[in-house]
Amino acid sequence: MTRPRRFRALAAVTTATAFTLLTAVPAHADAIRDQQWGLEALHTGGAWQTTKGKGITVAVLDTGVDDEHPDLAGQVLPGKDLIGFGAERGDRSWALHGTAMAGIIAGRGNGPGQGDGVLGVAPEAKILPVRVILESGDPSRSKARESRGTALADGIRWATDHGADVINLSLGDDSESAHPEPGEDAAVQYALGKGVAVVASAGNSGDKGDRASYPAAYPGVIAAAAVDRYGTHAAFSTRRWYATVSAPGVDIVVANPDGHYYMEWGTSAASAYVSGAVALVRAAHPGLSPAQIKTLLTDTAGNAPEGGRDDARGYGLVDPAAAIAAGAKPRPDDRGARAAEAGYGKQYFGSGPAPEKGDGKPAGWLAPSAGGLGAVLLALAVVLWRGRNNGGRSGGAPFPAGPYR
């Protein structure tokens, strides 16, 4: 018997992250911060001269968030569990991916002077956790697939009604059967209509057919593609018409509820970086609409592809510092941009898949002196550093392998 349409979403929607084998490093501040190359790439230092995201709430619709992680202490608001079963705190399959994304967005570090651990793009923003999916290693995942198919759409509406300024969706369906789901599309439009910016990962099928991913392909969504530290399009990152901007998605240090830190790759991380950037822009310019913010990000993106845009990297690398500066200037309402996105198959950020051009040129923030990155797509992991303040948790496995984005 075929599954009812309303259950399509959670059956195929997954988070999307994989992990890379690295050598363990000593437990001192620089071991983590020195590897957070994405903060420098996004010029966060310049943005932080204006704001660090204070007053902004970013909803993380994911597998849950560990509100007791030292890097997120005081940052996580009471949230909502729309699954209602599955792994619980202390289990190996609890809140892995969601905690990692929350740290990229709003981690504030830990220890003396907050000098240890992961620092997020918007370290003074708040995280609103909404559990809409289970980890791939959770034994209850099949049950969730069958019974919680509307969780994503419900979560978008719940977050919108409970104070979210930005919604991060580091998840999606890019399976062969992926298609627009009316309930999800309507929820996204509801959020946008209430002034909530929606960010989603572009997809990880770049080396598996470049299949369109939802919710990234819904009109109005800011879709994040992934690049490496040289600004080069990551091979796994989906190339599609909806790519808005790109962000770091290779060799990303993330926090984990088990008290360890891991390296990840995936457009999940790119989405979280962009959500952090949007949080900074919203904090600096609270009167901007989601459409204005999207246009502002595309207008100020750096390391733009040849011709200004392509399906691999969108308009280029998101730059919150440049967007904040440009946002101070009078801007049109951009209602026309929203209207142009109102229907499928009409007008998008591009005319469809385009040949990759100019993807290989290095970005300006790092000289290409490091070794090759040929091994970064290995779905392996190793502990980088075990948090000294994890309350005695031990052991722990890396995020479960799978079709993570």
* CA 267/CA 282 separation, integer angstroms: 22
Q: Active-site residue among 97, 233, 260, 285?
A: 97
Dihedral of the CA atoms 366, 202, 260, 68 (nearest 10)? 120
Cβ atoms of 242 and 219 within 8 Å: the answer is no
> Would you call 142 a catalytic residue per the annotation?
no
Q: Active-site residue among 268, 271, 275, 289?
A: 268
Strands (E), 111-165: 116-119, 126-131
Cβ atoms of 364 and 227 within 8 Å: the answer is no
Q: Which residue has the tokens 């989906």?
A: 238
CA distances from 331 to 38, 61, 227, 320 (A): 28, 30, 29, 17
Q: Which residue has the tokens 């104070």?
A: 163
DSSP state of 287: T
Instruction: Give me the phi and psi of 265, to 5 degrees please.
Output: -135, 155
Closest CA to 267 of 292, 239, 293: 239
CA distances from 155 to 80, 104, 135, 179, 297 (A): 8, 21, 17, 19, 25
> Would you call 62 a catalytic residue per the annotation?
yes
Cβ atoms of 186 and 152 within 8 Å: the answer is no
> Would you call 268 a catalytic residue per the annotation?
yes
* Amino acid identity, position 358: G
Closest CA to 294 of 358, 219, 187, 226: 219
First-residue to last-residue Cα distance in the chain? 29
Closest CA to 106 of 277, 285, 289: 277
Q: Active-site residue among 43, 62, 136, 334?
A: 62
Hey, which residues are catalytic here?
62, 97, 268
